[in-house]
Amino acid sequence: MNTKKFLLPESELPTHWYNVVADLPNRPLPPLNPQTKEPITPQELEAILPPELIKQELSTERYIEIPEPVREKYRIYRPSPLIRAFELEKALKTDCKIYYKYEGQSPSGSHKPNTAIAQAYFNKIAGTRKITTETGAGQWGTALSYACAQFDIECEVYMVRVSYDQKPYRKILMNTFGATVYPSPSERTQSGRNFLKQNPQTNGTLGMAISEAIEMAVQSEDTKYSLGSVLNHTLLHQTIIGQEALKQMDLAQDYPDVVIAPLGGGSNFAGLAFPFLRENLTQKKNTRFVAVEPASCPKLTQGKFMYDFGDTQGFTPLLPMYTLGHNFEPSAIHAGGLRYHGASVLCSQLLRDQLIEAKAVDQIECFEAGTLFAKTEGIIPAPESNHAIAQVLREVQNARLEGQSKTILFNLSGHGFVDMMAYSDYQNGKLSTHTLDPKTLETSLAEIQALQPPALV
């Protein structure tokens, strides 16, 4: 009887997060102050982040210890299982071995609590009373709502308006965990009022919601801001996924030839990939890493590597990243949390250095893959996760054409129980193939040309 689920006992929960910065052949360019175009200082981040997270954001240490109170909360749902996709393999009639790390058993149903819990804790010990944040599809807002409930912190969420209207279940989830949720752009902030003035009918974007959440945070001493992805420390916290997976691949007496994960801001991908990437960089392993993005929000495959803001209003430092421009508005596709205009600094640097690959997939291909996965493996994947599964099917097809077998590992970052309307749209033929208008992209990128520091222009 072959083992299907490789489980770690709680005693095997990793004690440290892994910081890939320590092992990069090329350090990323620094974040810049938008006014001076000089590298930002830790002090400049104090209005929005607590001290420990600022330290982590700028750290070059290889391993950072996970505090015991955070490990205690992790144990509510971790270690997460590594699962061999026997049923999917059978359906595909493939010799490839397919494994997935399943993050959907967490309180919010995705990998997001891995950083939400850490961020809530480091805020708590710094005396933060309230945290503001943004959320798109709602995965991140749900995770932070739960984490704040655990550490008795108030939580205020700005939710992209189109999601707020179309995904009532996500809002109720956040309310159940005790958070307050506002559709963004809102009338509560100056940024929100600006966005509404420019376009009263706007669907909202993650960039706009970030602006609102930051604006609220900087106004009060004991309120801080929290981001669910993109920043170094969010990627750092997610590496618990890959560190567990390394141990579990050992249990399976196997090792991945290719590691696949969706990429929105980068924390989903980084979480699984970075600990395996370290094995490439330091142990001469030869694994391929594939970040998968939606065809209609393709920063890695069609964006440019430039300095850009993380938000729409321009409150964040300038970050060196693959971007579509911070004013880019993706069309209303079912890509869950992957509708963000830029990729994290670390993932962008890795792509520049060709240490990872990027692929874009269309939403119909994603839901076709996700439906097959549900029928076989018995888990309804989140729309984000469907992007990884679609790429897995492509890898299997390539292996067949090349007459090879390979070991594939992917991040099943969450379940889709709260995203069933997207499956319904797929089943009813309401999804269309979205492509990116080159003119839109050109305009959007032209708008950020002026932000570049002299050295990059």
Which residues of this protein are in contact with its own copies, per CB under 8 A?
1, 3-5, 7, 9-11, 72, 75-77, 87, 105-107, 109, 113, 146, 149-150, 168-169, 172-173, 175-178, 371, 374-375, 377-380, 415, 417-418, 420-421, 423-424, 427
Q: Tell me the closest approach of the beta carbon of residue 105 to its own copies, in angstroms.
A: 6
Q: Tell me the closest approach of the beta carbon of residue 66 to its own copies, in angstroms.
A: 13
Q: Pick the closer one to its own copies by CB: 170 or 278.
A: 170
Q: Tell me the closest approach of the beta carbon of residue 2 to its own copies, in angstroms.
A: 9
Q: Pick the closer one to its own copies by CB: 77 or 255.
A: 77
Q: Pick the closer one to its own copies by CB: 192 or 336.
A: 336
Q: Tell me the closest approach of the beta carbon of residue 273 to its own copies, in angstroms.
A: 25
Q: Tell me the closest approach of the beta carbon of residue 247 to its own copies, in angstroms.
A: 15
Whether cis (ω within 30° of 0) applies to the bond prior to 454 is: no
Q: Tell me the closest approach of the beta carbon of residue 428 to its own copies, in angstroms.
A: 9
Q: Pick the closer one to its own copies by CB: 244 or 308.
A: 244
Q: Tell me the closest approach of the beta carbon of residue 430 to its own copies, in angstroms.
A: 12
Say how far apart CA 94 and CA 391 lie, in whole Å. 15
Q: Tell me the closest approach of the beta carbon of residue 423 to its own copies, in angstroms.
A: 5
Q: Pick the closer one to its own copies by CB: 43 or 428.
A: 428
Q: Pick the closer one to its own copies by CB: 198 or 253.
A: 253
